[in-house]
Amino acid sequence: MNVLKSRAVRVVFVLVTLLGVGLGGTSAHAQDSEYFIQAQVKEQQRDENGRPDNQPVVGVTITVTAPDGSEVGSAATDDKGVALIPVPAKGDYVVRLDESTLPEGQTIAATSNAEQVINESTFRTNRQIINFFTGESQRVEQSFFSRAAQRVADGIRFGLIIAMCSVGLSLIFGTTGLTNFAHGEMVTFGAMMAYLLNVRGLAFVSFLAFLPFIDDVGRFHILLATPLAVAIGGGFGYALDRFGFARLRRKGVGLISQMVITVGLSIILKNLFLFFFGGRRKPYRDYTLQEGLNLGPITITPRDLIVMLLSFVVLMAVALTLQLTRLGKATRAVSDNVDLASATGIDTSRVIRQIWVAGGALAALGGVFFGLDEQVGFDMGTQLLFLMFAGITLGGLGSAYGALVGGFAVGLFVETSTLFGVPTELKTAPALLILILVLLVRPQGILGRAQRVG
């Protein structure tokens, strides 16, 4: 993500923060004089770890004018970089930063304005906060090549995670025909379990604090929490099949009904996460502050590098297992043709159970890795779900190797799409394009087997 070099670069941009609730916290019927515009001027810097470390800028004059040009008030920023200007009511205002009062050598960025407009509709509380970020205008213009290299590196990382998460989704589809709309929540589940062990801790295991990786309030180091979360994720997959979908299959509940049931499961799990975890994104305790390594044109933290290597190793292990072991061969046989596999003496329901376990474990690992990269949130897996769908469709629905190849390709494609003018906020949108194009041109995907449909 971090395209900007950690040293010397002082990014300059302007952000308008609209704080919805919480500040002031008074009722909407407050008196006129209780409306304020709070302008905050900060010099955006980065500390040695490349994390934002903003400094207040003192003594900058901020002027508020009404739309007709009449001045409403002005103030200079205090030692916290804050200027508080009372306004008569909610309404449209223009907030201007007087650039001549900025300290020597500082400017407002090229990407921003010294003048910001507040609309009445955005005036949600009685204190409207507006941020001006300043700094030395030294934005490093990077060449297309170095930006591309960075995006490709990020894409590889993201692609490996998507591939890991998708294996279970694709294999469950291949063996049972079920499209599991709760698979995204299985990814979140893994990340949540690791968060529980790593950050919240289990107080009742604090007596084990003499062991490495466990501290005296029962919190596990992420190196230990991850394998545990993966194991719990596998157990979760087992439970879902044993107590859920295996029974439904026995009961003769059809696939479409089962699919709708996964939707219900997804709703329950997502809200369960929100219930216990809350809506904010939170990081794990370990390896959060890391300085990026400069490898040629790419900046990458050691954490991300290790996550990438581990992901690669795990995916190779999955591929080798599928290719060489009895279980792998049985899995491929079942996903190829359930009846034929069953006739050759393969215990299909056992294979399906094992796939749910493996799929749950891999989804959990993908979730932990994704959480290490971009923090843990209750809807992190939900947001990955449709990228996983795009990946396994591209690779071939039901094909195990297809999920690896397709998931990886989609991750890479999504990250690199920003190079070609796709805004970062919409970088997942091109995955829909992939999905539609694949279905139009080659619905069986890259590695799937053509089947007569319709």
Instruction: Provide the binding-site residues for other proteins, judged by CB under 8 A.
Output: 121-122, 173, 179, 181, 248, 251, 253-261, 263-272, 274-275, 382, 385-386, 389-390, 393, 397, 423, 425-426, 428-429, 431-432, 435-436, 439-440, 443, 453-454
**Residue closer to other proteins (CB basis): 19 or 268:** 268
User: Closest Cα to residue 361, out of 238, 262, 270, 275?
Assistant: 238
Structure tokens at 157: 């990382």
The CB-of-328 to other proteins minimum distance in angstroms stands at 25
Phi, psi dihedral angles at 35 (to 5 degrees): -90, 130
The CB-of-12 to other proteins minimum distance in angstroms stands at 18
**Residue closer to other proteins (CB basis): 217 or 436:** 436
**Residue closer to other proteins (CB basis): 320 or 450:** 450
Q: What is the dihedral of CA 12, 17, 23, 24, to 10 degrees?
A: 90
**Residue closer to other proteins (CB basis): 187 or 225:** 187
The CB-of-276 to other proteins minimum distance in angstroms stands at 9
**Residue closer to other proteins (CB basis): 257 or 323:** 257
The CB-of-125 to other proteins minimum distance in angstroms stands at 15
CA 181/CA 265 separation, integer angstroms: 8
**Residue closer to other proteins (CB basis): 60 or 390:** 390
* 119: alpha, beta or left? (left if phi > 0; alpha if psi -120 to 50): beta
User: Closest Cα to residue 186, out of 234, 139, 221, 151?
Assistant: 234
3 state DSSP class of 65: strand
Q: Which residue has the tokens 């903003």?
A: 54
CA 122/CA 132 separation, integer angstroms: 17
3 state DSSP class of 73: strand
- 438 contacts 445 by C-beta, under 8 angstroms: yes
**Residue closer to other proteins (CB basis): 324 or 429:** 429
Q: Which residue has the tokens 């490093």?
A: 140
The CB-of-387 to other proteins minimum distance in angstroms stands at 9
**Residue closer to other proteins (CB basis): 58 or 259:** 259
In sequence order, what are the residues at sequence separation of 6 or more whose Cβ sits closer than 8 angstroms to the Cβ of residue 16? 116, 130, 131
- 377 contacts 280 by C-beta, under 8 angstroms: yes
**Residue closer to other proteins (CB basis): 102 or 171:** 171
What distance lies between CA 378 and its chain's CA centroid? Answer: 10
- Burial of 135 (C-beta count, 10 Å sphere; 0-12/13-18/19+): buried
The CB-of-182 to other proteins minimum distance in angstroms stands at 10
The CB-of-82 to other proteins minimum distance in angstroms stands at 25
**Residue closer to other proteins (CB basis): 261 or 363:** 261
What distance lies between CA 376 and its chain's CA centroid? Answer: 8
The CB-of-335 to other proteins minimum distance in angstroms stands at 15
Structure tokens at 318: 């999955």
User: Closest Cα to residue 403, out of 186, 90, 162, 206?
Assistant: 162
**Residue closer to other proteins (CB basis): 49 or 271:** 271
The CB-of-453 to other proteins minimum distance in angstroms stands at 5
Give the single-character DSSP code of 35: E
**Residue closer to other proteins (CB basis): 308 or 435:** 435
The CB-of-167 to other proteins minimum distance in angstroms stands at 17
- 430 contacts 417 by C-beta, under 8 angstroms: yes
CA 196/CA 188 separation, integer angstroms: 12
The CB-of-249 to other proteins minimum distance in angstroms stands at 12
The CB-of-272 to other proteins minimum distance in angstroms stands at 6
Helix orientation angle between 348-374 and 380-395, rounded to the nearest 10 degrees: 120
